[in-house]
Structure 1
Amino acid sequence: MKVIGTLLFIFLFAINANAQYEIKGKIKGLSKSEVYLAHYFGYNQQVIKDTVMANEDGEFEFKGAEVLPKGLYLISFLKSKYIDVVMEDPHFSLSLDTTDILKTITFENSAENTAFYAFQRKMNDLYSRINQPTLSSIARKNLQAEVQQFQQQWKKANATLFVSKLIESSFDPEIPAYRGELRSKADTTKMQMYQYQYYKKHYFDGMDLGDERMVRTPFLQRKLERFFKDLVIQDPDSISRESDLILQKAKDIEVRRYIIYKIASTYENNPILGTEGAFVHLAEKYYIGEPALWDTSTVRRMKERLAIIKPLLVGKSFPKMHLTDIAGKEINMASLPFKYTVVFIYDPECSHCKQEAPKLAALNDYFKSKNVGVVASSIVRDKAAWKKFISEFKINSWINGIDIHLNPQTGKEEYYTDFRNTFDVYSTPVVYVLDQHKKIVGKRIPVENLKDFIQYLETRRK
């Protein structure tokens, strides 16, 4: 019996040891409903790690042999309700009442989450008092000082916890007082520049870019997006320079990979003209230049994407487009005498192209007054569909082209233009704007914005 008892103990211990995570919960107000455990991947993506069914008393348990990556998780229930939990030691329990989650939630065996919710409760209490409309300015100032004091004390008391990093990463940098004179408008401008430069330089101070757990929080993505949207001039050189400075601090592989991906994907097809140059910089330096960060297929795809995008950057000469007109004559775009050329690449059967063509045709008189020509090219090598499109939308005044060429020896049709890879046509229509030297000055400009864009180009030339 003793041997059997010992063997049973070892067996049960082995089963329990295999449970890399074990999270028990009881939610009052929940009954026989699914509960999800997921971690954040930025603020707008969650990766589900486990799903269980709560019993009639709202009790549930997440348990598994998988090692859960550390970070900030959420437990989701009742469709729209969820709680955030810090995942450090994945063996804890919690309870709450759905009528007041923040007030009733408690944890056992989780110093991280106990501190996390104590912070939230205190801050919620302080700000509810600060926001009272009848509060005097002196009382509000005192409460704001109390907020600062509490935050400093809390951070000091919980400095060893990951949750302290989480809270710190959500704060903005505090700007030291400006010590210069403020006697003129120029002095005020200097102070504002000082504040902007300090804020920008120290924006990521509270974010530990060497801690991979930050990838599994909402805060890193929010910081990146706000930084590049509000603090960085939207030109490729500025974006590239600021990206390099951030990545100098991002030593952790996961954090580094995430930052590269987020910035590069933002500027690959960004609506702000010219910013694709930043994507090219990031792709060359951090995808192709650091292949160990990525799998071989990702590096290969990036090389293929660069081969398409790089020749089409603003300022580059427009690649040769092999087209013939209605009479079958070759179109020589380089010899077109226009000050600006709008290149409209379309599919005759594309519904969106049929919507955009009349809008573009409505600009004919304006274009004529500004010496703007339109070259319209069908990507479909179907003469009947092409001619029908031209007739239907009354665009005979444009230079209409198609990639069909008769071989003089064989008399057979030949095709020379790779629209997808040479002109990045992955959907239609695509619009390019060229200057008089046939260099790209605009790309993917919405048709409704073309008039304003031409006016902008005219103003810039003066």
Structure 2
Amino acid sequence: MKVFFLAFSIMLSGFGSIAQVKKTNNPATSQAGFLIKGKINGISHVELYLAHYFGSTQQVIKDTARADGQGNFVFQGKEDLPKGLYLISFSKNKYLDVIIGNTNFSFETDTLDPINHMKFQNSSENEAFFSFQKEMGKRYVDLRKLELERKDPSQISNIRNEITQYQQAWFEKNKQLFVSKLVRATFEPEIPPFKKKILNAKDSTAFYQYQFSYYKKHFFDNVDLNDDRFIRTPFLQKKLEKYFEDLVAQQPDSIIKDADILLTKIKNRDVRRYVIYKISSTYETSNIVGTDAAFAHMGEKYYVGEPALWDTTTIRQMRDRIKVLKPLLIGKRIPELFLTDTSGKRLTTASIPGEYTLVYFYDPDCSHCKEETPKLMAQANYFKSKKISVLATSIARNKEQWTSFIKEYKMESIYNGIDIHPNAKTGKEEYYTDFLHTFDIYSTPIIYVLDKNKRIIGKKIPTDKIQDFITFYENRQKELGIK
């Protein structure tokens, strides 16, 4: 694939500041710096890393240390650590999760059983965190043993009840701690019983609809969406991904509606920025046709529309990106192309006949185009059967390369155009089209699919998926009763 321009990414200037230290001048609420002393029996003279989570896919390293021969080490710094869930990596693929609230504490454990042998001093958050892990680990081992041995169901039920009682008591005891919020965030919402008896298929459908609706409505109940510490955990990102992947219909209107509802609940500046970023970046790069309309909505409403959240560079780049995307959204009439065909005559998009038009943007010098063009031409019989016209558009303005490419790949049966226009008075060549900013051509090849009115119904469809897309589109039209 020939890439001319890196697609816009909203992870731009200023956003990374969410992950950074928040400083305060109030000594009553904060103690500058951090001092964390650790001892892990079983390690010796190894490098350790202290990093906080930034969502579920990134970690931000805040300090490094080196253990001595007995496994002692110290993380220390003069700047505050942002609060959240951290990991201490002490060997390849081995790490400990710890909570950073108080930033002056110590701990000791070993490599044989880090959780059960853990001891903390001066960290109520981590004492509660590890006591929960220890107790739940033991109880689930007992439960699993009973299940494997197929013991009396009443015994299994008793263990489950004991687990629930322990959890409730633990939450009540530690309700003032962040760890309580953290653990609760891993729990799914509990769905109340369905009040109606299920007697037939209609009742069954109503039951499943009730479960889905309740679950979706209460999906974020166990996450404090206004506590910015959740940005520095894996849980907020995972919840967002599951919600928008599994519970939201992947259509622009549904995505926009659910994003707006969710963001009405979020007032905390950093969490709001993070959630806006995650939703926007998901649908900026989604491979689902049409969801870039959700990205355009997010950009207009929450970037350009909330400038206090972002720096001027990000806002300007978002505004420019939306300017390119909006005329190319599904349902829009494609911007007109003015080209010259192989005989020197004018060729426009509007002049192409057919029930459908494929606009195939390519570069004769692009290696990927050389792989995909034969696949395109191999579908000539299918195109004819469906009254599909193909307009192949070279974005490179080199006549010799263009005509050689057409000949080599036997493209004479389709419409071929190039953006070179001889001036009748001067004889000089003129160019009309800005392919990047008018058609979002940052790589080649790219295919737009148009209906008979030259409205966009699909874009950036892979060459070998054209027939699948046409079938899907026609079936969808039938479902909607559109001829």
Normalised by the size of structure 2, how large is the TM-score? Answer: 0.90
Is residue 100 of structure 1 aligned with residue 113 of structure 2? yes
Cα distance between partner residues in 2 of 1:378 and 1:129: 68
Of residues 320, 323, 327, the one that matches 2:339 is 323
Aligned residue in 2 for 1:167: 183
CA distance in 2 between counterparts of 1:92 and 1:417 reads 63
What's the CA shift string for 1:193-215, capped at 9, x where partnerless?
11111110111111101111111
Q: Which runs of structure 2 are paired with 1:174-189 in the superposition (5 Å)?
A: 174-189=190-205
Secondary structure class of the residue paired with 2:116: helix
Aligned-partner SS, 2:298: helix
Deviations 1:20-70 (A, max 9, x none): 100011111211111111111100001111112111221110111111111
| Structure 1 position 351, deviation (Å) | 1.6
**2:79 equivalent to 1:66:** yes
* 1:75-117 CA-partner distances (Å, limit 9, x unpaired): 1121211111101001111111112112212211111011111
Query: Superposition pairs for residues 201-220 of structure 1, below 5 Å?
Result: 201-220=217-236
Say if 1:18 and 1:65, in contact at 8 Å, map to a contact too: no
1:6 matched to which residue of 2? none
Given candidates 127, 131, 135, the residue that maps to 2:144 is 131
Distance 1:273 1:206 in 2: 33
Q: Equivalent of 1:40, from 47, 53, 59? A: 53
Structure 1 residues 19 and 64: alpha-carbon distance in aligned structure 2, compared to 1, 3 A threshold: farther
* Count of matched residue positions in the alignment of Structure 1 and Structure 2: 446
Which of 228, 242, 245 aligns to 1:229? It is 245
How far apart, in 2, do the equivalents of 1:126 and 1:267 lie? 42
Deviation at 1:359, TM superposition (A): 1.3
Structure 2 unaligned spans of 5+ = 1-29, 479-483
Letter of the 1:161 counterpart: L
Q: Which residue is 2:216 aligned to?
A: 200
Give the number of the structure whose residues are more often helix, by fraction.
1
C-alpha displacement at 1:459, in angstroms?
A: 2.5
Call closer, same or farther: CA 1:176–1:186 in 2, change over 3 Å: same
Structure 2 residue aligned with 1:458: 474
Q: Note the 1:311-460 alignment, pairs <5 A.
A: 311-460=327-476
Letter in 2 for 1:56: G
2:96 is matched with: 83
The Cα of 1:170 is off from its aligned counterpart by 1.3
Deviation at 1:403, TM superposition (A): 0.8
2:125 aligned residue: 112
Counterpart residue type for residue 215 of structure 1: I
Whole-angstrom distance in 2 between the partners of 1:26 and 1:452: 59
C-alpha distance in 1, partners of 2:461/2:356? 14
Decide whether the 8 Å contact of 2:34 with 2:78 is kept in 1.
yes
Alpha carbons 1:37, 1:74 under 8 Å: kept: yes
Give the distance between the partners of 1:352 and 1:113, measured in 2 at CA: 53
Cα separation, 2, equivalents of 1:18 and 1:459:
63
Alpha-carbon contact 2:338-2:349 (below 8 Å) kept: no
Offset, 1:18: 8.6
CA drift at 1:322: 2.1
Q: Deviations over 1:370-412 (max 9, x none)?
A: 1011111111111122122222222221211111111111101
Give the whole-Å Cα distance in 2 for the aligned partners of 1:139 and 1:389.
75
CA–CA distance in structure 2, aligned partners of residues 94 and 458 of structure 1: 64
Q: Which AA in structure 2 matches 1:135? A: R
SS in 2 for 1:304: helix
1:19 CA drift (Å): 6.1
Q: Distance in 1 between matches of 2:162 and 2:412?
A: 73
Q: Is the 8 A contact 1:322 1:416 kept in 2?
A: yes
Do 2:347 and 2:417's aligned partners in 1 also have CA atoms closer than 8 Å?
yes
Kindly indicate whether the alpha-carbon contact (under 8 Å) linking 2:375 and 2:463 is maintained by their aligned counterparts in 1: yes
Structure with the larger RCO, 1 or 2 (CA within 8 Å, 6+ apart): 2
Cα distance in 2 for residues equivalent to 1:345 and 1:150: 63
Q: Secondary structure at the match of 1:85?
A: strand
TM-score (norm 1): 0.94
Q: Cα gap change, 1:214/1:409 in structure 2, threshold over 3 Å: closer, same or farther?
A: same
* 365-374 or 322-331: bigger deviation: 322-331
**1:41, 1:47 within 8 Å by CA — same for their partners in 2?**
yes
2:165 paired with 1:149: yes
Question: Identity of paired residues, percent?
Answer: 53
CA distance in structure 2 between the aligned counterparts of 1:35 and 1:63, rounded to whole angstroms: 12
The residue matched to 1:175 in structure 2 has which SS? coil
Q: 1:11: which partner in 2?
A: none
Aligned match of 2:26: none
* C-alpha distance in structure 2 between counterparts of 1:229 and 1:393, whole Å: 40
2:125 aligned with 1:121, yes or no? no
The match for 1:22 is: 35
Q: Is the 8 A contact 2:31 2:80 kept in 1?
A: no
Structure 2 equivalent of residue 191 of structure 1:
207
Letter matched to residue 92 of structure 2: K
Cα distance in 1 between the residues matched to 2:328 and 2:38: 56
